[in-house]
């Protein structure tokens, strides 16, 4: 019944930066540019039909973990994701600065 947290190993090409992502089963965003794709209803189920690209719009630290917030460019839904060890940390830092800059300008 409950299809939550299904694990699927899959490789995919990032539609934002064309990086070849090798899936670990938990991968839901590109480790290079940190963009994601709206393919899950529940994490890992790939049941969402939207398939819009999801832009990283917010990034913050929660305890020891970095949390990335993605917003779908097609349907505007927002989702929280944990940064994984495989992610490009330089990009995480760059993005956090970019987001901080944007917040300052508001
Ligand atoms: Zn990418
Ligand atoms: Zn969407």
The DSSP code for 29 is B
CA 17–ligand 1 middle distance (angstroms): 4
pLDDT, tens digit, for every residue of 58-85?
999 999 889 999 999 999 999 999 898 8
Residue 12: pLDDT over 80: yes
Which ligand is the nearest neighbour of the Cα of 53? 2
Q: Where are the beta strands (DSSP E) in the chain?
A: 11-13, 20-22, 36-37, 53-62, 65-72, 78-82
CA 76–ligand 2 middle distance (angstroms): 6
Out of 21-25, 27-31, 39-43, 88-92, the most confident range is: 88-92
Which ligand is the nearest neighbour of the Cα of 56? 1
CA 36–ligand 1 middle distance (angstroms): 8
C-alpha–C-alpha distance, residues 19 and 72, integer Å: 19
């Amino acid at each position: 019944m409950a299809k939550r947290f299904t694990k699927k190993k899959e490789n995919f090409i990032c539609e934002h930066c064309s990086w070849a992502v090798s899936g670990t089963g938990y991968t839901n965003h590109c480790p290079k540019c940190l963009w994601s794709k709206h393919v899950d209803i529940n994490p890992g189920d790939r049941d969402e039909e939207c398939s819009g690209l999801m832009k990283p719009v917010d990034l913050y630290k929660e305890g020891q973990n970095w949390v990335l917030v993605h917003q779908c460019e097609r349907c505007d839904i927002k989702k929280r994701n944990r940064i994984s060890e495989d992610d490009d940390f330089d990009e995480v830092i760059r993005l956090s600065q970019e987001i901080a800059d944007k917040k300052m300008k508001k």
